[in-house]
Amino acid sequence: MSYVDEVLAQVQQKNAHEPEFLQAVTEVLESIRVVVDANEEKYRKVALLERLVEPDRIITFRVPWTDDNGNVHVQRGYRVQFNNAIGPYKGGLRFHPSVYQGILKFLGFEQVFKNALTTLPIGGGKGGSDFDPHGKSDAEVMRFCQAFMTELYKYVGADRDVPAGDIGVGGREVGYLFGQYKRITDSYEGMLTGKGLTFGGSLIRTQATGYGLLYHTEEILKLNGQNLKDSVCVVSGAGNVAIYAIEKAQQLGAKVVTCSDSTGWIYDPDGIDVAVLKDVKEVKRARLTEYKAARPGAEYHEGKGVWTVKCDYALPCATQNELDLEDAKVLVANGCKGVFEGANMPTTLEATKYLQENGVLFTPGKASNAGGVATSALEMSQNSERLSWSAEEVDAKLKSIMYGIADTISDAAERYGMKGNYVAGANIAGFEKVAEAMIAQGVY
């Protein structure tokens, strides 16, 4: 049995109850097979793959908090510190009822390779809780964040582990979490990113994942003789990533006609009005029915449906496994030429394969959404030197990192005879860097 197959079998046996983690590991190991086969003896000797698929540690804790009526609730909190071979653990916190260890292990694993691709010195981690911020008052969210950090503070720090936001964790939550860390430790350090601009946050961090996705898309399209100008795009999600992806796509000349949230989706034939969307989601924290109310020309539909709209390019920006084989078939039948992931693993393995086999350009989230964590690393740099860079400076760095990632994954795929297979290119390029650092640092 090959080394990859052996390790995959072990991972399946040990993590059978964590399908998302199995999916992420399968995608990565399958696509680095060619590199592993060429270096089998060297990697086996130090159990490289076995160490790569096992988190350094997983911290699980109880988070009790009190609602506005005085009722006490207990949530589960986690931090998965996956791999710090190339820098302190870095990765977001997710607050969503679906959160369990398997989701955070998949996200932490992906983060290791993503962070390597940014070229910046950051390792991979992820954390969060099954807490649902929907419908909670600001005071409830604050008490939950304070309770969460009261346990988490023991394990994080500017040179140790630096969390950030993710689904359900935005500027408001990061502010409360930072305040509690400062209060408990009596130290002012950059141990969280995505902070407010008045207390160490970086300009462009809010926009970074969405903008970065579009810079990346621009470069991949350029490598393939295409561009965004006058194209029609469909976007899923209506959160941080989706909003700024739509904004930048429109700045680059595309028309974005859809967005979605956890209850329904919008088709706006005139193009999504980003100002209205921001007001509904960032200010009012309301449902997309409010968008429809403000834009009578738009259609609101319950449930899922973004991928049925005819488009040139599709940008999934909501959550994992939101684009399945049936969706991929509809996209191909409608002439879609490219799918670029803004969310983490939004496309199932079967859908990815179908898109690639049908000539659709496809880039995985670990490459195309790396702009968020890259800008978080730039926030860490600014915190370390106690300076704030201008928006233009950060944006220029973000752009250069995202163009660089597109070129790196394209070159890596070509080096191994898989031109245009950006999934393989991203996994190989990320793996090569992490593997080299792990081997150099010895077995532990």
Q: Which residue is nearest to ligand NDP (CB)?
A: 239
Residues 298-317 that bind ligand NDP (CB under 6 A): 317
Residues 359-378 that bind ligand NDP (CB under 6 A): 369, 372
The residue among 124, 90, 230, 103 whose CA lies nearest residue 167 is: 103
Region binding ligand NDP by CB under 6 A among candidate stretches 36-44, 161-169, 352-360, 379-387: 161-169
> Which CB atom, from 151 or from 290, has the smaller least distance to ligand NDP?
290
> Which CB atom, from 33 or from 105, has the smaller least distance to ligand NDP?
105
> Which CB atom, from 234 or from 435, has the smaller least distance to ligand NDP?
234
3-state secondary structure the chain: CCHHHHHHHHHHHHCCCCHHHHHHHHHHHHHCHHHHHHCHHHHHHCCHHHHHCCCCEEEEEEEEEECCCCCEEEEEEEEEEEECCCCCEEEEEEECCCCCHHHHHHHHHHHHHHHHHCCCCCEEEEEEECCCCCCCCHHHHHHHHHHHHHHHHHHCECCCEEEECECCECHHHHHHHHHHHHHHHCCCCCCCCCCCHHHCCCCCHHHHHHHHHHHHHHHHHHHCCCCCCCCEEEEECCCHHHHHHHHHHHHCCCEECEEECCCEEEECCCCCCHHHHHHHHHHCCCCCHHHHHHCCCCEEEECCCHHHCCCCEEEECCCCCCECHHHHHHHHHCCCCEEECCCCCCECHHHHHHHHHCCCEEECHHHHCCHHHHHHHHHHHHHHCCCCCCHHHHHHHHHHHHHHHHHHHHHHHHHCCCCCCHHHHHHHHHHHHHHHHHHHCCCC
Q: How do 338-340 and 89-95 pair as beta strands?
A: unpaired
**What's the maximum distance between 2 C-alpha atoms anywhere in the chain?**
64
> Which CB atom, from 135 or from 417, has the smaller least distance to ligand NDP?
135
Per-residue binding string, ligand NDP, 238-257, x by CB under 6 A, is: xxxxx---------------
Regarding 262 and contact with ligand NDP (CB under 6 A), the answer is yes
- Give the type of residue at 128: G
Question: Shortest Cβ distance from residue 104 to ligand NDP (Å)?
Answer: 11
Among 24, 167, 249, 336, binds ligand NDP (CB under 6 A): 167
Question: Shortest Cβ distance from residue 411 to ligand NDP (Å)?
Answer: 23
> Which CB atom, from 305 or from 342, has the smaller least distance to ligand NDP?
342
> Which CB atom, from 98 or from 390, has the smaller least distance to ligand NDP?
98
Regarding 341 and contact with ligand NDP (CB under 6 A), the answer is no
Region binding ligand NDP by CB under 6 A among candidate stretches 29-37, 270-278, 342-350, 408-416: 342-350
Question: Shortest Cβ distance from residue 240 to ligand NDP (Å)?
Answer: 4
Among 166, 173, 312, 379, binds ligand NDP (CB under 6 A): 166
Regarding 343 and contact with ligand NDP (CB under 6 A), the answer is yes
Regarding 321 and contact with ligand NDP (CB under 6 A), the answer is no
Question: Shortest Cβ distance from residue 38 to ligand NDP (Å)?
Answer: 31
> Which CB atom, from 39 or from 262, has the smaller least distance to ligand NDP?
262
List residues with catalytic annotation. 126
Region binding ligand NDP by CB under 6 A among candidate stretches 18-26, 39-47, 69-77, 339-347: 339-347
Site size for ligand NDP (CB under 6 A): 22
Question: Shortest Cβ distance from residue 227 to ligand NDP (Å)?
Answer: 24
Cα–Cα dist 241/237, whole Å:
8
Among 29, 48, 49, 318, binds ligand NDP (CB under 6 A): 318
CB atoms within 10 A of CB 422: 25
> Which CB atom, from 142 or from 318, has the smaller least distance to ligand NDP?
318
Residues 221-240 that bind ligand NDP (CB under 6 A): 237-240
Strand order across the beta sheet in which 258-260 lies: 258-260, 264-267, 299-302
Question: Shortest Cβ distance from residue 59 to ligand NDP (Å)?
Answer: 20
Regarding 28 and contact with ligand NDP (CB under 6 A), the answer is no
> Rule CB under 6 A: which residues touch ligand NDP?
165-168, 170, 209, 237-242, 261-262, 317-319, 342-344, 369, 372
